[in-house]
Structure 1
Amino acid sequence: MRPAAVPALPPEDGLGGAGVVYELKLDGFRCLAFARGRRPPYLQSRSGRDLCAEFPAIADAVARLPEGLVLDAELVAWQGGRFAFGELLRTPAARDADGVVLGLIAFDVLALPGGRDVRRLPLADRRRLLSEVLADVPPPVQAVLATGSRAEALSWSERLADSGVEGIVCKSLASAYRARGAGRAWVKYRPGDTTDATVTGFTGTPGRPRALLLRLADGTTVLGSPQLTPVQARQVAEAAAGLLDEPRTDPEHGTVHPLRSPLRAEVRIGTGRASGARFVRLRGD
């Protein structure tokens, strides 16, 4: 389920009137964690990729969970007193060398040990089950911080922003888990909200990209503005290595280096102007 963006936190009797739970929205990779007993665990990214090879410590922790348990969770990195999304894009060896701490923060349970599917149960029941199955589980697997108080959630959003907390996810306690869309049963409040886009190419050179060609959710393609910073350019160049097609001349943007396989990115859209799409970062999930 993917929550819809809202400009303000709903009231405690909102989202259908059955009660609301407010959860921290953490800055990481969303994934489903499958504990499979004697078979290797599986960490399924939003794009369907298995993340186990990139996060062996988290994979080992999931392997120790009871067989058949399936969690919906956020894979996060912590360094220097804050959540550090960029560390998730580095190799395991590089993270280990710099003392980066990883965590798998679970906010829902989809199947119980033994494989019982609980997605049709109301969230209130699934939250209780999640607490029970994780009661004796040590870090790096933990349950997300949550509250039923709107005032407390607003306080968290303000006080924890500097630690990398993105905002608050609000969920109806009556909601079942639906794989395609959350309707208005789950919503997210995030100041300065961002959206996903696809990088289809860039201007500049392969070693120093200057601006990105971005395909937005509505299918339009825009040139990201302003130009990439040196750090952003280096990250894009590294991610695009081996994915480049032959350069072509675009009548509007000049020489463009298209990508055979597009990259996923997070962008911030300027008010009223799609052409004001500002590149925030690449997403590795």
Structure 2
Amino acid sequence: MSHETHRSLENDGHRVVLRRTDDTVILYAQSGRVVTPYWMDLALAGVALRPGTVLDGEAVIWRDGRLAFGAAQSRAASSVTRARALAARHPASYACWDLMQHPDPAIGDTRPLPYTERRALLLELLAEVGPPIQPVPATDNRDVAEHWYEALQEQGLEGVVAKQGAAAYPSGRHGWVKVRHADTVDGLVVGFTGPRLRPHHLALVVGDEDSQVRLSARLEPVLAAHIGTALAGTEVMGERRTERETYTRIQTDLTVEVLAGSGRHGTLTVVRIPNDSCQPVSPKLRLMESLIAAVREQDEAARFLAGPGDFDLDRGDHVEEVHLASGAALEGFAGDGAGGTYFFCGEGGEERPVLYADSEGGSALVAIGLPELLRLLLVAPWWRGCQAFTAEESRKLADEYLEDIPDLLARRDYAAAALGLDLSTEAVVLDRLREVALGVGEDFVLIFTPEGYPYEPLIRA
């Protein structure tokens, strides 16, 4: 029955949207980036699908009877040539959990349909295809799901995903409840990145002291302040390097509790300091303690961003109906006075790529993550006026702003400090803007939905 809860397996792989067009197969990462060259074995298998089909699932690799995320990660991070060699040794499978578009024009976009109807259509479609493209096992029997959760962990299963049978397809999977194998363990703090009183990441040893040093996920602001207080009197041992990042090594007996998952989500997420007055970081606190929340709370920062930056968090609704060509999620979160809109692309939080669309049919990927966007708006609020991206052009635009707002730089520095952001030079942020727009930005094509026309690029080579 559609009102029941259905549970499917959560695999250990790379999120991939598979789109079968009239002529070919295109695979997209959750950010919207085209990743077809890295998963050509799946693209070839996808030719068996009927044109017009769009699937949502994960690219997974089996080795020695279990899911091997390391193998999938190596494939995704390798060169195209090496990816093909890896595919020959360890072919990928596509674990499909949902149907986004049905090839029958009479059905079309299936995302508004209840999950039970999407699931039935998915099973019917994939019955014509077979491995390596397969639907993930799913059940409406709680006992069966609990058995899967316990019995299949050794095979690399991350957990199970619960979905309401009557629910439509949720953008970004926010309407799905994931239950993963995870536990809280102690980690010894051996270093940090960023400022000591408000560290960005902790360098941790989990388990024996001879274990590898690993960097934690980004600390939540409230927790970072508590940890910064505990680090204030520690002895600095110098700079060290791990995971391709430099951190400050310290001598301390401080331990923290971390949430370490069993699969690829084994990222070390610090949740609290043992015996500290702060409680474990809840999902609600994680949501509120964000840069968006900080902008709303810091009046001076909000005024600067709304004034010179022309950035308003209350203008997230775009003037036109649009979508990404890749089918990835698109979330408007801010806008400007001329009708332009800033969108988060793909699944995740404020680390997602940011695409800007004006009200005249132009768009560009302008930043990878909200911190990068805010640095651009703080340092070069005139970026929309840049065409040649030369030093002379930037200086002319800056002078015009300074003439109108004599205390611009002082207000900018105050706003950056209030948000905890380190600032770069105009040249650095504008070079980064061009790099993003002309590099990975080429894979983020914005489409005017009613007519299917792509937006024109705002930044050209």
| TM-score normalized by the length of structure 1 | 0.65
2:11 alignment partner, one of 16, 19, 26: 26
Matches within 5 A, 1:19-168: 19-38=4-23, 40-88=24-72, 89-90=74-75, 91-96=82-87, 99-114=89-104, 116-168=108-160
- The one-letter amino acid paired with 2:18 is A
Output the CA distance in 2 between the equivalents of 1:253 and 1:71. Answer: 51
How many pairs align?
218
Structure 2 equivalent of residue 269 of structure 1: 269
| Alignment-mate amino acid for residue 19 of structure 1 | E
- Structure with higher RCO (Cα < 8 A, 6+ apart): 1
CA contact (8 A) 1:211 1:226 kept: no
1:272 to 1:213, Cα distance in 2 relative to 1, 3 A: same
> Matches of residues 241-260 of structure 1 in structure 2 within 5 Å?
254-255=238-239
Matched residue SS, 2:157:
coil
Q: Is the contact between residue 204 and residue 213 of structure 2 (CA under 8 Å) also seen in structure 1? A: no
State the AA in 2 paired with 1:272: R
Asked if the contact 2:41/2:91 (under 8 Å) is kept, the reply is no
In structure 2, how many angstroms separate the alpha carbons of the residues matched to 1:42 and 1:168?
Answer: 27
Distance in 2 (alpha carbons) for counterparts of 1:220 and 1:179: 32
Hey, which bits of structure 1, 4+ residues long, moved more than 2 A?
90-97, 210-214, 227-233, 251-259, 268-271
One-letter code aligned to 1:123: Y
Q: 1:85 to 1:232 in 2, by over 3 A?
A: farther
Higher share in strand: 1
Contact 1:22 1:169 survives alignment (8 Å): yes
Contact 1:68 1:113 in 2 (8 A): yes
* Contact 2:41/2:87 (<8 A) preserved: no
- Does structure 1 conserve the Cα–Cα contact (< 8 Å) formed by 2:26 and 2:34? yes
Structure 2: how far apart are the matches of 1:266 and 1:49? 24
| Identity fraction in percent | 32
d(CA) in 1 for partners of 2:54, 2:237: 46
| Alpha-carbon displacement from aligned partner over 1:16-47 (angstroms, at most 9, x marks no partner) | x9101110100000111111121x32211112
The answer to which structure has the higher helix fraction is: 2
TM superposition score normalised by structure 2: 0.42
Deviations 1:47-106 (Å, cap 9, x if unpaired)? 222221111101111233111100011110001010001111133344246x42310011
The answer to whether the 8 Å contact 1:20/1:170 transfers is yes
Gaps of 5+ in 2: 76-81, 185-189, 216-234, 246-263, 275-461
Displacement of 1:230 in angstroms is: 6.4
1:190 match: 180
Whose radius of gyration is greater, 1 or 2? 2
CA gap of 1:55–1:193, structure 2 versus 1, over 3 A, is: farther
